[in-house]
Chains A and B, each alone.
Chain A
Amino acid sequence: MAILPDGAANDTPVVDIIDERLSRQSAWRRFLARPDLGAFAGVVLVFAFFGVTAGGTGMFASDGVLNWLTVTAQLMIIGTGAALLMIGGEFDLSVGSMIGFVGMMIAIPTIYFGVPIGASVILAFVAAMAIGALNGFIIVRTRLPSFIVTLASLYMLRGLTIALSILVTNRTTVSGLKEYSNGSFVAQLFSAKLFPGFFQWLADNGMINKLPNGEPVVSGVPMLILWGLVMAVVGHIVLTKTRVGNWIFASGGDANAARNVGVPVSMIKISLFMVTAFGAAVFAACQVLEFGSAASDRGVLKEFEAIIAAVIGGCLLTGGYGSVIGASLGALIFGVVQMGILFTGAPSDWFQVFLGAMLLTAVLFNSSIRRRVTGER
């Protein structure tokens, strides 16, 4: 029977079959239709693989875990933006170059122009998001594929990073930022280690290893990991629980149809480009403040890693389908595979071959699981 309010049933013709879009699905059925289901399975597969091949190598000791979690978190930060943007129907290839650019934007004004580091960081974020907005604006206005437009920004940003750093500093690596950032709130925000006391306690109680000097092997959770989690959680909530999330799906699914029902597609797309730029800026800020230096080659090829994470996580390249949780799991798969291969001791000449093969396996496995359970062909 149709589910209609009593009053309405009297005025309108009785409809026996409700519209299929409104039909209720069982919880199990909905679970199986999740875009990130395959990624869950992929995570299980990857951990099983390295549990067997790298079990005794220190990969699962506390400092080993921190190592691949750090790489995972880095990728989550940019992967969240990439996933949201991909669901919204566009790509951003300028993420990697943006990382290098923002790094320089933080380091050069601080060291060479005497700008307080907090101000440089804020300025760098504003600049990055403005460039992101410009990318989005050009794409929305000209209707050119985002692939081409952001490819152009990939080159221009990388070139600007090299040219400006040579122009101002005569070098391509700008170091010595630590003395400016020590004690600053941005250092706390992007490079602090959380819960040092807890880790000391763990080490004192023998739950994690100690260094010969008595300090724990892992001295705390880097802010980088917290940023990764926060970006993913916020991204997930916005995408699945808010009206904006629906607009993102609609913009990526069919932009024209979405416009016709009043979705502000242009605004959504421009904002999403600002989100990817924000992610790149967070990535860069964490890196620059952790290492105390910026270099013009930071972030090379990271745009592809972000897209790979989103795709492993079940985002469709055509837009309109995907999840942020999936992208985070994709980041986890990529991080574990990337570092795990090193733990297994595979020869480095073959590293990229293994990496590519493992990723292909993860994606194939992911999509076959999804097809099997959803019956999609």
Chain B
Amino acid sequence: MKTGLTGLIRRSLLAVALASPFAGLAITAHAAGERFVFVSHSPDSDTWWNVIKNALKDAEHDLGVTVQYRNPPTGDIADMARIIEQATASNPSGIVTTISDFNVLQSAIKGAIAKGIPVITVNSGTAEQSKKLGALMHIGQPEYDAGKGAGERAKAAGVTKFLCVNHFINDSASVERCQGYADGLGVKLGDQMLDSGIDPTGVYNKVKAYLSVHPDTDGILTLGPNSADPVIKLLRDTGSASKFKSFISFDLDGDISQAIKDGLMSAAIDQQPYLQGYLTITFLTLYVRYGVIPPNNVNTGPGFITKDNIAMVEKLAGKYR
């Protein structure tokens, strides 16, 4: 009897094990019922969006929906407008899009909403812009406020002259971040904003050149891993980290968290991108299925990651954080 039972359990376990890959397939196939398109403004070379892509995959799996991630390969926002128009023409269940340039994207986004497609805006853009377009809600980090928060921290640390390393100068949100920092610090934004480009060697050398021409710089703001990582390397190579009273970066990756642990960097501004991917799809799915949606916007940031809370964050960096 006992052996018979274990045998049965074994056999059924085996059956489940054999069937489960196919079960997985079946779920994915059914998921074609609800299809969402997530449109970002980032060029292919920007790796920060991987966490969002991971979140989208998790949401796909957890909710049984299909999510198509789209972006303009070169980061050209006019091309992004065409992608939103394309998504609209393909009649998806919902669209998530960033508002990286309100003027360029407004007619495309309004077009989607006019066609009756529910739209949530995410990441770049402001809550007011989102409302003006008629989107359901905005999920993101207010860029200016986040920059200002960093500027206030820098001021508290005694910074007087700063450098803002901008690796994505064509995105107006990037300029807002530098502007917020300058305002938080209480100085006028001028040539402290460096157009570094996205190539690591280029960033490294441009920052090096800037710092040798402006030796009295004592605060640095980088706008993401693409600008932070080369600067971290530069400070390590030259051993000049102690010269800077505050070195804060937007966003997080392995190098940045190591630098925070080592005391090289003061803080990272975390906008918790996983939420931006997972929540948008979750809210849209619930809205499409049951008509329910929170009435207010969601701020996913700014959260500041410092030496105190880095341990937990570090484990998950690059995948969920």
Contacts and interface: CB of A to CB of B under 8 A. Distances in A.
A212 B103 contact: no
B78 interface: yes
B101 A293 contact: yes
Given A67-B82, A291-B81, A342-B83, A173 B90 contact: no
Contacts of B169: 162, 172, 296
A342 B70 CA distance: 8
A166 B172 CA distance: 12
Interface string A348-375: 1001100000000000000000000000
B86 A291 contact: no
Interface residues of B, number: 38
Q: Chain A, interface size: which category?
A: 35 or more
Given A295-B170, A296-B170, A348-B71, A211 B90 contact: no
A57 B87 CA distance: 10
B78 A298 contact: yes
Contact of B170 (A172, A213, A339, A347): A172
Interface in B239-259: none
Interface string B63-81: 0001011110111111001
A70 interface: yes
Contact of A211 (B71, B104, B116): B116
A257 B51 CA distance: 60
B75, B76, B85, B102 — most chain A CB neighbours (10 Å): B76
A297 B76 contact: yes
Nearest to B32: A345
Interface in A64-78: 64, 66-68, 70-71
Contacts of A178: 103
Contacts of A97: none
A297 to B, nearest CB: 4
Interface in A201-216: 211-213, 215
A291 B78 contact: yes
Interface string A170-203: 1111011110000000000000000000000000
Given A173-B170, A295-B101, A352-B44, A59 B76 contact: no
A171 B73 contact: no
Interface in B78-108: 78, 81-83, 85-91, 101-104, 107
Contact of B103 (A58, A59, A66, A292): A292
Contacts of A171: 172, 175
Contacts of A175: 101-103, 172
Interface in B33-47: 35, 44
B80 to A, nearest CB: 11
B235 to A, nearest CB: 26
A219 B171 CA distance: 30
B74 to A, nearest CB: 4
Interface in B165-217: 169-172, 175, 189, 195
Nearest to B74: A300
Given A175-B103, A293-B103, A352-B44, A58 B116 contact: no
Interface string A268-295: 0000000000000000000100111101
A339 B88 CA distance: 12
Contact of A293 (B86, B104, B189): B104
A206 B67 CA distance: 31
A293 B116 CA distance: 26
A137 interface: no
From A58, A59, A71, residue with most partner B Cβ within 10 Å: A58
B186 to A, nearest CB: 18
Contacts of A211: 114-116
A343 interface: yes
Nearest to A213: B114
A35 interface: no
Nearest to A170: B189
B172 A299 contact: no
A212 B114 contact: yes
A63 B73 contact: no
A217 interface: yes
A300 B86 CA distance: 20
A58 B114 contact: no
Interface of B: 35, 44, 66, 68-71, 73-78, 81-83, 85-91, 101-104, 107, 114-116, 169-172, 175, 189, 195
Given A171-B172, A177-B103, A293-B103, 19 more contacts: A59-B90, A63-B115, A67-B86, A67-B89, A173-B172, A175-B103, A175-B172, A211-B115, A292-B103, A292-B104, A293-B101, A295-B101, A298-B78, A300-B74, A300-B75, A339-B82, A342-B68, A345-B35, A348-B68
23 contacts: A57-B90, A57-B91, A58-B91, A59-B90, A61-B89, A63-B89, A67-B85, A172-B172, A211-B115, A212-B115, A291-B103, A291-B104, A292-B104, A293-B101, A293-B104, A295-B77, A295-B104, A295-B170, A300-B75, A300-B76, A343-B89, A345-B68, A348-B69
